């Protein structure tokens, strides 16, 4: 009968590495979708932008698609943030790059 200890140790080490990468605070450029990269590029030189300004700059018209494919993923990995997080549905809500967002955006420039 074969000894399974080396295999189990290998699998535990692989799982540990995968978990460490998954919970890492720094998003890698591999985790940034093309849509999020395009969104980050819109901020070039702009301090903060509204949803309408972002959508217009990207040439998008469908708000639900914009939110699902661009805005929410960028917020989730903390590349952008709301200027007024206490009022997420505010009609004057704007978005700005976080420090991490600026770092990631500079790799796409």
Q: Which of 53, 50, 37, 57 is nearest to 105 (CA)?
A: 37
pLDDT band at 44 (very low <50, low <70, confident <90, very high): confident
Asked whether the predicted pLDDT for residue 28 surpasses 70, the reply is: no
Dump the DSSP string for 33-67.
-HHHHHHHHHTTT-S-EEHHHHHHHHT---HHHHI
d(CA 48, CA 28): 23
pTM of the complete model: 0.71
CATH class (in words) of the domain with range 27-108: mainly alpha
pLDDT band at 95 (very low <50, low <70, confident <90, very high): very high
pLDDT band at 86 (very low <50, low <70, confident <90, very high): very high
Dump the DSSP string for 83-98.
S-TT-TT-TT-EEEE-
Per the CB < 8 A criterion, the answer to whether 81 and 96 are in contact is: yes
Higher pLDDT, 66 or 5: 66
- Quickly tell me which residue has 């509204």 as its tokens: 50
Asked whether the predicted pLDDT for residue 30 surpasses 60, the reply is: no
Read off the DSSP letter of residue 70: I
Averaged pLDDT of the chain:
88
Q: Which of 40-44, 61-65, 71-75, 105-109 has the lowest mean pLDDT?
A: 105-109
d(CA 103, CA 47): 15
Residue 23: its pLDDT value, please?
66
């Amino acid at each position: 009968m074969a000894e399974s200890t080396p295999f189990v140790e290998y699998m535990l080490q692989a799982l540990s590495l995968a978990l460490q990468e998954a919970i890492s605070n720094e998003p890698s450029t591999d985790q940034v979708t093309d849509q999020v990269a395009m969104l980050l590029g819109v901020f070039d030189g702009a301090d903060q932008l509204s949803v309408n300004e972002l959508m217009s700059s990207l040439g998008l018209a469908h708000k639900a698609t914009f939110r699902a494919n661009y805005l929410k993923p960028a917020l989730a990995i903390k590349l952008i943030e709301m200027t007024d997080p206490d009022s997420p549905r505010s009609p004057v809500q704007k978005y700005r790059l976080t420090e991490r967002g600026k770092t990631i955006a500079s790799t796409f420039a």
